[in-house]
Amino acid sequence: MESECLVCSEEFNVAPDTLAGEILACSACGQEHELLMVDGSPKLGLAPEIEEDWGE
């Protein structure tokens, strides 16, 4: 699947065996994307930021 970075619009390839929830990084700008399943179709979204866990 060909996709486009949501930040810099660089095109990159998403392998067909990529699973929903996997994190993919744009090779041009480094932005991380998460593969989401929307109505049964794969779609890229911005990956959530890693937050500190103050409970540990």
Could you read off the pLDDT of 13-48 as tens digits, one per residue? 889 899 999 999 999 999 999 999 989 888 999 998
Paired residues of 23 in beta bridges: 34
pLDDT confidence of residue 50: 74
User: Are the C-beta atoms of residues 51 and 40 closer than 8 Å to each other?
Assistant: no
pLDDT confidence of residue 2: 86
pLDDT confidence of residue 36: 93
Domains of the chain in sequence order: 2-46 (2.20.28)
pLDDT confidence of residue 10: 93
CA-based nearest residue to 22, from 51, 52, 5, 43: 43
Give one DSSP letter per residue of 6-38, joined into a string: TTT--EEE--TTPPTT-EEE-TTT--EEEEEEE
pLDDT confidence of residue 56: 62
